[in-house]
Amino acid sequence: MTLSLVLPTRAGALEDYTLRGTAPVRPARGVKFNRIAYSAAHVVADPLAAIDPWIQSAVDWDATIAYRQRLWSLGLGVAEAMDTAQRGMGLDWPTSLELIRRSLDAARDVPGALVASGCGTDHLAPEDAKSVDDVIRAYEQQMEAIEKLGGRLIVMASRALARVAQSPADYEKVYGRILSQAKQPVILHWLGDMFDPALAGYWRGSSQAAAGGAGDVDAAMDTALGIIAAHAAKVDGIKISLLDKDKEIAMRRRLPAGVRMYTGDDFNYAELIAGDGHGAEAVHGRSDALLGIFDAIAPAASAALGELAQGNLEKFHAILGPTVPLSRHIFAAPTRFYKTGVVFMAWLNGHQSHFTMVGGQQGARSLAHFAELFRLADAANLLEQPELATRRMKTLLALHGVQ
């Protein structure tokens, strides 16, 4: 069956588009992956809640947990209550803790299900943080709550710490205190300022950032690596989201033995996961994954990782390669609005019944952006039910006056 519709272009025109008609990607089944792969998962908003969505959040818990069950069924882990779940962009700490609780409860019924949960300081407004001790107390509050539920921690980058830290020594103090108390090895989280401008100069402190420029990634990396080396037994790995593959490769080669690099590079994940000439099967010759894009491309991620586990590198790239243009589009600047594309994909593919987001973020991208996303998803064979996806795309078009 040929499926066609009219789509807008970035030039403001309309053009006929016919779907490719190729079969959707089928995920791997029954294959043990040789990479750890977490998908940072989105939340499904409750569209019927009588709230003001810009200042309040309401979550459809059943649909949200069902999506996590789908990710586990594909062999992927869930990185819970991260920025993909709109943490800090509509999802507050009390709702995040409830999300973590429900996700951990659901995981107990799924053999082998991986869950790691975001531990941050977002209940402390950055302007209310007066010292690094305030930041430590904020981290400890969330850490205690998550560990009480039996959760493993992803220690998220802190806007409050970025605001009050004066030097690398302040980061060393905060992370040293938190890591020394962790019950299990944690995943550290380095989110670049393209994802969150409030994190500019992270790991360096305001005095060094002012002296050398907030973009001095090498100095920041030295601080992070020093902290990891001092507490290696308490660090499972570090996720970096800098959208710079060379920086990620340089850092992973310097990690202590046994500490993993979890790529958060939504532009270059395929080659980073595959590995380089320094021993792709050695832990520092390739990256594991903790990616927001894996939410949107879950079937392809599963299928590709299944092929990689069986030594089929060409098939791995053949499946995952076509998803990279889609990911680069979803994560295009302003990068922080990538969550809109992730949820749009979930709606197109029938994993939620509506295109409504926490914080009203469904309005963060243009119709032309969604149209190009649709084309790229089709090219990557990621429209799981093409007729449904076409029908829903036409609904969105009609809402914008395109009949």
Taking 50 as the threshold, does the pLDDT of residue 214 lie above it? no
pLDDT of residue 212 exceeding 70, the answer is no
SS3 call for 236 = strand
Higher-confidence residue of 379 and 215: namely 379
CA distance 84 to 37: 15
Q: How high is the pLDDT of residue 282?
A: 63
Q: How much is the pLDDT for 127?
A: 96
Q: Which of 114, 103, 34 is nearest to 77 (CA)?
A: 114
pLDDT at 55: 87
210: pLDDT strictly greater than 70: no
How do beta strands 4-8 and 14-18 pair?
antiparallel
pLDDT of 63-116, one tens digit each? 999 999 999 999 999 999 999 999 989 999 999 999 999 999 999 999 999 999
Beta carbons of 307 and 316 less than 8 angstroms apart: yes
Give the closest residue to 100 by CA, choosing from 82, 120, 80: 80
- What's phi and psi for 24, nearest 5 deg? -65, 155
Residue 354 binned pLDDT confidence (cut-offs 50, 70, 90): very high
Tokens coding 125 = 């407004």
Tens-digit pLDDT profile for residues 186-195:
999 999 999 9
Model pLDDT, residue 96? 98
Reply yes or no on whether the pLDDT at 216 is more than 90.
Answer: no
pTM: 0.95
Mean pLDDT of the chain: 95
**Residues 235 and 188 sit within 8 Å (Cβ to Cβ):** yes
Share of the chain above pLDDT 90, in %: 91
Q: Identify the CA nearest to 40 among candidates 90, 76, 89, 65.
A: 76
| Model confidence at 259: pLDDT above 60 | yes
In the structure, what pLDDT confidence band is assigned to residue 120 with cuts at 50, 70 and 90? Answer: very high
Region 263-277: mean pLDDT is: 93
What pLDDT score does 142 carry? 98
Domains of the chain, each with CATH number or no CATH: 35-312 (3.20.20.70)
